[in-house]
Amino acid sequence: MADAPARLVVDRDACAGHGMCYGIAPSLVEPDEQGDPVVLVDPISPAQSADAETAVSVCPERALSLVSASPPFDPEGSSR
Ligand code: SF4
């Protein structure tokens, strides 16, 4: 992804809680009490984009994605 601001988003319906995302990018994603991923950084900085792309790529459920940070984030969306 280019240097445009981006956000990591978890599709909670698709997520199976494998933990591979927060295992490989602990500075960006951490598990909650149930082991579900919580995105820690919003938006992702350009310096973090490679780690974010790696986290997206290791998710076997394709539940993690990088989306444009504009238009403004929808607080009713699937990331928190
Ligand atoms: S790797 Fe994918 S399926 Fe596993 S916890 Fe992360 S987002 Fe969920």
pLDDT digits (tens, 9 = 90+) for 33-48: 999 999 999 999 999 9
- Judged on CB neighbours under 10 Å (0-12, 13-18, 19+), 6 is buried
**69, amino acid identity:** A
Q: For a pocket test of ligand 1, which of 12, 53, 61 has the largest count of ligand atoms closer than 8 A to its C-beta?
A: 61
pLDDT higher than threshold 80 for residue 1: no
For residues 64 and 37, the answer to whether their CB atoms sit within 8 Å is yes
Q: Name all domains of the chain by residue range, CATH numbers in brackets.
A: 6-68 (3.30.70.20)
Which residues line the pocket of ligand 1, CB cutoff 6 A? 10, 15-21, 37, 59, 61, 63-64
The model's pTM is: 0.83
Helices vs. strands in the chain: H and E counts, helices first: 2, 4
Tokens of 9: 């988003």
